[in-house]
């Protein structure tokens, strides 16, 4: 049975890296990064809210198609509200697929430190865009608010397996995510 896996966690918690590793282990799995889809839309930086809505709509359509074809979909996305999570769960159900929501957990201090390191030397355009967006929203205090909002969301999502992120041990973190997916 195909599986849609949502990797949710604070910015710089390793979502994209883990998604890449999970996809590499699954034949024809799709790494469905909504932020990448958003960046493909014209004028997205001046209309970020509209672009985000459009990117999520496109992501849902892509996920439905890929799941219906019998393939896994991995969605690495920071979410602090439940609406898109519920939409992904409904998409999986419509396609006859499993839905697994994983919450990547690290301390607030570790999340901020990881974001600062990543922003100082962004490896991808998405990392650069995230740094710009956080700066525009208020800098580190905005990042801390995002972290707090994520943790508040989790209080109502007890069924989402929590996976501890160990900074510097991506293999161990990926193994814990794989175990959480298998046991969900």
68-101 per-position pLDDT tens digit: 999 999 999 999 999 999 999 999 999 999 999 9
Alpha-carbon span 47 to 28, nearest angstrom: 33
Alpha-carbon span 128 to 11, nearest angstrom: 12
**Where are the extended beta strands (E) located within 79-151?**
98-105
Per-residue pLDDT, 115: 87
Tell me what the mean pLDDT of segment 125-140 comes to: 81
Tell me what the mean pLDDT of segment 141-166 comes to: 94
- Band the pLDDT of 118: cuts 50, 70, 90: confident
- Band the pLDDT of 134: cuts 50, 70, 90: confident
Question: pLDDT above 90 covers what percent of the chain?
Answer: 79
Alpha-carbon span 142 to 150, nearest angstrom: 12
- Band the pLDDT of 139: cuts 50, 70, 90: confident
Best CA proximity match to 50, nearest among 60, 38, 62: 38
Question: pLDDT above 70 covers what percent of the chain?
Answer: 100
Tell me what the mean pLDDT of segment 165-172 comes to: 93
Q: Find how far residue 134's CA is from the centre of its chain.
A: 16
Query: Is 90 exceeded by the pLDDT of residue 120?
Result: no
Per-residue pLDDT, 165: 97
Alpha-carbon span 161 to 180, nearest angstrom: 6
Alpha-carbon span 163 to 177, nearest angstrom: 6
**Contact yes or no for 15/78 (Cβ under 8 A):** yes
Tell me what the mean pLDDT of segment 35-62 comes to: 95
Using a 10 angstrom Cβ sphere, with 0-12 exposed, 13-18 middle and 19 or more buried, the burial of residue 153 is middle
Per-residue pLDDT, 133: 81
Per-residue pLDDT, 60: 98
What's the order of all strands across the beta sheet hosting 30-31? 30-31, 73-76, 3-8, 98-105, 162-164
Residues with Cβ < 8 Å from 62, sequence gap 6 or more?
30, 32, 37, 73
Tell me what the mean pLDDT of segment 137-158 comes to: 91
Per-residue pLDDT, 94: 98
Q: Which CATH superfamily is domain 3-183 in?
A: P-loop containing nucleotide triphosphate hydrolases (3.40.50.300)
- Band the pLDDT of 42: cuts 50, 70, 90: very high
Residues with Cβ < 8 Å from 148, sequence gap 6 or more?
108
Alpha-carbon span 13 to 105, nearest angstrom: 8
């Amino acid at each position: 049975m195909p599986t849609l896996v949502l990797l949710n966690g604070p910015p710089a918690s390793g979502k994209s890296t883990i998604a890449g590793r999970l996809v590499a282990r699954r034949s024809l799995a799709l790494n469905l990064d909504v932020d990448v889809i958003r960046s493909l839309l014209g004028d997205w930086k001046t209309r970020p809210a509209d672009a985000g809505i459009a990117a999520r709509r496109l992501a849902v359509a892509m996920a439905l198609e890929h799941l219906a074809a019998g393939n896994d979909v991995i969605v690495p996305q920071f979410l602090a509200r439940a609406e898109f999570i519920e939409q992904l769960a409904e998409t999986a159900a419509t396609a006859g697929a499993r839905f697994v929501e994983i919450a990547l957990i690290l301390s607030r201090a570790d999340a901020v430190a990881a974001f600062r390191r990543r922003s100082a030397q962004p490896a991808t355009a998405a990392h650069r865009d995230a740094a710009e967006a956080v700066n525009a929203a208020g800098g580190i205090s905005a990042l801390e608010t995002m972290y707090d909002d994520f943790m508040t969301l989790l209080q109502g999502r007890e069924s989402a397996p929590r996976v501890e992120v160990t900074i510097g041990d991506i293999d161990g973190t990926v193994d814990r995510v794989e175990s959480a997916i298998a046991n969900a």
